[in-house]
Amino acid sequence: MPPFPASNPSRAVVLGSTSPYRRELLSRLRLPFTVEPPQVDETPARGETPLALARRLAAAKAAAVARLHPDAVVIGSDQVADLDGEPLGKPGTHANAVAQLRRMSGRTVVFQTALTVLCDATGFAQHDLAPVRVRFRALDDAEIEAYLRAEQPYDCAGSAKSEGLGVALLEAIESDDPTALVGLPLIRTCRMLRAAGVRVL
Which amino acid type is present at position 100?
Answer: Q
Neighbours of 6 (CB within 10 A): 9
Task: Please give the chain's pLDDT, 201 residues, in tens.
Answer: 334 334 444 789 999 999 999 999 999 999 999 999 999 998 889 999 999 999 999 999 999 999 999 999 999 999 999 999 999 888 999 999 999 999 999 999 999 999 999 999 999 999 999 999 999 999 999 999 999 999 999 998 889 999 899 999 999 999 999 999 999 999 999 999 999 999 999
User: What is the structure's pLDDT at 8?
Assistant: 43
Question: Among all residues, which ones are annotated catalytic?
Answer: 78
User: What is the structure's pLDDT at 105?
Assistant: 97
User: What is the structure's pLDDT at 7?
Assistant: 42
Degrees, nearest 5: CA angle 172-111-46: 145
Q: Report the run of H or E that residue 198 belongs to, with start and end.
A: none
User: What is the structure's pLDDT at 2?
Assistant: 38
**Residue ranges per structural domain of the chain:** 13-195
What's the CATH code, domain 13-195? 3.90.950.10
